[in-house]
Amino acid sequence: MRLRTLISAGVAFVFGLGLAAAPASAQQSWKVQTSMVAGDAYYKMIQDHWLDRLAAMTGGQVKIELTPIGSVVPHTETMNAIGQGILQGDLTSTTYFAGRDKVFALMGDLIAGYDTPLQLTMFCYHGGGREILQEAFDRYSGGTVQVIGCGAIAKEALVSKARIATLADLKGKKIRSPEGLAAEVFRRAGAAPVAMPPSETYTALDKGVVDAADNSSYTMDKSVGMHKVAKFPIYPGIHSMPIIQFTVNKAMWNRLSPQTRQAVDSWYLAMIYDLTMRNELQDRVFVAQDKADKSSGIEIIDWSQPDRDAFRAIAAGAWKDFAEGSPLAKKAYDANIAFMQKMGLLAK
């Protein structure tokens, strides 16, 4: 309860900062592409609860037109589109840019790293994460993109048809996973990662092509019926916690007054806190319902802390090796390790 109270107080504080702003810059309207499908839970939360707040917090100086994934440019091209002025910003997954440099993979989703979204958002704001991300965008956008913030909304559950109750149970299991860091971590833990589009995950689980899947949060998995065919979800999850970044066109950002920039900065952080709370609350409601409904056949698996710690230790070896060959990725790796040690998540 104390953590939730602190988060709620933080939201109220940063929202208050925005309302106190007295912007004097020209009005701007930003077309912002997301990594979300129109109508999905996160998209609707932002649309219904946060777009009007931004206008209010900036005194009408900044307004956002939210657009779904791929609506203006392909999801991997928002960085270029922002620099060129085709888009004014994005609220999207940092991992989409991993093909340009491994720093975006390590910054975007440190597989099996942090325990909670708040810890990862703390790294962004108090562990050097935001600064490293800005350095990466400066390099790959030619200095045309400004990083406003980075933070996680949810730790994804692992949807599973097989009962994977311990780290040892991962051995030999076929797990749908994206290529790259996630696949390597599962491989080192003894699983057999299988690459496939998210659209094929349900059928693959249903037909036994895979035993489990890196897919989404408990709420999102439930909303698309995953638990009808995969009765052993692992919650809280053990693996993925993607960052949702907010970046904008740097020239437009620089034309805003200092007060308006502070209001936008505060708006993003307050929104991330709010989405985190809304998602966790809905996850917990669904988990409680599924635990109570014995007829569903769903058994929710919660790994022990020793198994979680051991999985993180395996993943840490993959992070280190993955960072090789990229100075920016190495910088991101070092910063994450230092922060996790400070938080007591990794031994020094």
Per-residue confidence at 26, pLDDT binned at 50, 70, 90? confident
Q: How far apart, in Å, are the Cα atoms of 193 and each of 48, 132, 218?
A: 37, 30, 21
Beta carbons within 8 Å of 18's beta carbon, 6+ residues apart: 53, 56, 57, 58, 262, 263, 266, 267, 270
Kindly report the pTM of this predicted structure: 0.87
Nearest CA to 128 out of 347, 344, 333 is that of 333
Pairing of strands 28-34, 89-93: parallel
pLDDT of residue 12: 47
Mean pLDDT value of segment 286-312: 95
Tokens 């390597």 belong to 184
Lowest mean pLDDT among 32-46, 74-88, 92-106, 257-271: 32-46
Tell me the CA end-to-end span of the chain in Å, nearest whole number: 30
Q: What SS3 state is found at 218?
A: helix
Strands of the 158-160 sheet, one edge to the other? 158-160, 212-214, 174-176, 192-194
Report the C-alpha gap between 347 and 336 in whole angstroms: 13
Q: In this model, does residue 132 exceed pLDDT 80?
A: yes
Task: List phi, psi (to 5°) of 63.
Answer: -130, 145
Tokens of 49: 């609860």
Task: DSSP letter for 196, please.
Answer: -
Query: What's the confidence (pLDDT) of residue 77?
Result: 97
Contact 163, 299 (CB under 8 A): yes
Helices (H) and strands (E) in the chain, counts: 15, 9
**Polymer length in residues for the chain:** 348
pLDDT at 184 over 70: yes
pLDDT tens per residue, range 230-247: 999 999 999 999 999 999
When pLDDT is cut at 50, 70 and 90, the band that residue 23 belongs to is very low
Diameter of the chain measured on Cα atoms: 61
Show the domains of the chain with their CATH numbers: 13-154+241-282 (3.40.190.170), 158-239+294-323+332-343 (3.40.190.170)
pLDDT tens digits, one per residue of 329-347: 999 999 999 999 999 999 8
* Span 297-323, average pLDDT: 95
In contact, 19 and 266? CB cutoff 8 Å: no
One-letter identity of residue 99: G
If one compares 107 and 8, the residue with the highest pLDDT of the two is: 107
Distance between CA atoms of 91 and 243, rounded to whole angstroms?
10
pLDDT of residue 215: 87
Q: What band does 56 get if pLDDT is binned at 50, 70 and 90?
A: very high
5, pLDDT greater than 70: no
Give the pLDDT confidence score for residue 25 in this predicted structure: 55
Mean pLDDT rounded to a whole number for the chain: 91
Task: With beta carbons less than 8 A apart as the criterion, state whether 124 and 243 touch.
Answer: yes
Share of the chain above pLDDT 90, in %: 84
CA 305 to chain CA centroid, nearest Å: 22
- For residue 125, with 0-12 CB atoms within 10 Å meaning exposed, 13-18 middle and 19 or more buried, which class applies? middle
* One-letter identity of residue 316: A
Residue 198: what pLDDT? 82
What are the tokens at 72? Answer: 């203006």
Has residue 143 got a pLDDT over 50? Answer: yes
CA distances from 252 to 30, 80, 249 (A): 9, 15, 6
Which positions ≥6 away from 54 have C-beta within 8 Å?
62, 63, 64, 264, 267
Q: How far apart are CA 184 and CA 198, in angstroms?
A: 18
pLDDT in tens, 311-323: 999 999 999 999 9
